[in-house]
Amino acid sequence: MKRVAVFASGSGSNFESLVEASRQSNLGYEVVLLVTDRLDAYALERASRLNIPTKSFAPKAYATKGEYEIAILTILKQFKIDWIALAGYMRLVGSTLLEPYQQRIVNIHPSLLPHFPGKDAIGQALKAEVAQTGVTVHYIDEGIDTGPVISQEIVAVRPEDTYETLQKRIKQVEHHIYPKTLAKIMREDELNVSKTRVN
């Protein structure tokens, strides 16, 4: 069973969907920690309700980004974290975390990457008047939503859509695609580990 830390900055609905899905089915992972960069993130309340340990780090309390991430890395080691799942974490991950967790940090983004990367992907899609957008789960690298795509699902943009209605449908897709994709990655990771042992 892979030990996962979820990073969030806001509401934490994807965090909750990952936890609930793993508890309802054997998906090969267990969410054992929530990390936030905001002390007032609503995700912390969800974690309390779900009995998931939390750690909050205020970036301004650290002199550099490196020091901030070293503090996080120390906690990840204490919790023996295998994988990191970003879920509305509004910070670029730096080399301090990328190097020890290479190809083991995933993110969910509300668009069909490479379209509409960065902030407010839903607003970008509406402004561009596209016929469809969607959801992407991808690996993290040094760029802004530039890592390799793992899975995607299309969400149609309706003529009558408002930001709220489109966001609601995208969230529904996020809540099923993220746990499903994470489970797939965990199975593949376990197979790779098994092959390495055999070899």
Distance of CA 110 to the CA centre of its chain: 11
Mean pLDDT by 10 residues, the chain (199 residues): 95 96 89 96 96 95 94 96 95 94 96 95 96 97 93 96 96 96 86 57
The pLDDT of residue 25 is 82
Residue recorded with tokens 């990073």: 7
Strand order, beta sheet including 132-139: 54-56, 29-36, 2-8, 83-86, 105-109, 132-139, 149-156
- Range 2-198 classified under CATH 3.90.1300.10: no
Helix (H) or strand (E) holding 34: strand 29-36
The pLDDT of residue 19 is 96
State whether residue 193 is helix, strand or coil. helix
The pLDDT of residue 76 is 97
Domain boundaries, the chain: 2-198
**Active-site hit among 109, 138, 175, 176:** 109
Query: What residues does 105 pair with on adjacent strands?
Result: 84
Q: Is the peptide bond before 114 cis (omega within 30 degrees of 0)?
A: yes
The pLDDT of residue 187 is 82
The pLDDT of residue 194 is 54
b vs e for 100-126, b when ≥16 Cβ sit within 10 Å of the residue's Cβ? ebeebbbbbbbbbbebbeeeebbebbb
The pLDDT of residue 191 is 73
In the residue annotation, 109 being an active-site residue is answered as yes
The pLDDT of residue 13 is 96
